């Protein structure tokens, strides 16, 4: 309704606004059939308690939320792992210098 009204109007900005509203509505209505890995991601992100609770189709917004949560956790894990590795390397180099092991 809004899209039809905006296309009749001459203003290009209103047409763009109408297209944006239509895209948002389409995204909210879009559903997907999750794969086994995506189902595991939904459980790992605590959106569902177990694999049996996940329905046949879920909204794209739910799937995006699960992917974002997993992406965030993975980035945090990689960052913490890198910092621990860096601190271990610095500690090792300090011990090497203290005992005079040089090549």
- pLDDT tens-digit map of 1-27: 555 554 555 566 656 556 665 555 555
State if pTM tops 0.75: no
Pairwise CA distance, residues 59 & 34, whole Å: 10
Cα distance between residue 62 and residue 70, in whole Å: 12
Identify the residue whose tokens are 């086994």.
Answer: 36
User: Which residue is it, tokens 């040089």?
Assistant: 102
- Which region, left, alpha or beta, applies to residue 30 given φ > 0 means left and ψ of -120 to 50 means alpha? beta
pLDDT number for residue 21 = 56
Residue-wise pLDDT tens digits, 52-89: 999 999 998 899 999 999 999 999 999 999 999 999 99
pLDDT of res. 55: 92
Of 78, 46, 50, 51, which Cα lies nearest the Cα of 65?
Answer: 46
């Amino acid at each position: 309704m809004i899209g039809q009204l905006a296309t009749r109007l001459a203003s290009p900005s209103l047409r763009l606004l109408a297209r944006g509203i239509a895209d948002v509505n389409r995204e909210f209505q879009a559903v997907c059939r999750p794969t086994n890995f995506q189902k595991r991601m939904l459980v790992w992100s605590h959106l569902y308690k177990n694999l049996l609770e996940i329905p046949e189709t879920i909204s794209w917004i739910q799937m995006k939320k699960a992917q974002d949560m997993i992406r965030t956790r993975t980035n945090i894990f990689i960052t913490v792992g890198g910092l621990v590795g860096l601190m271990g390397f610095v500690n090792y180099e300090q011990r090497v210098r203290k005992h005079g092991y040089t090549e």
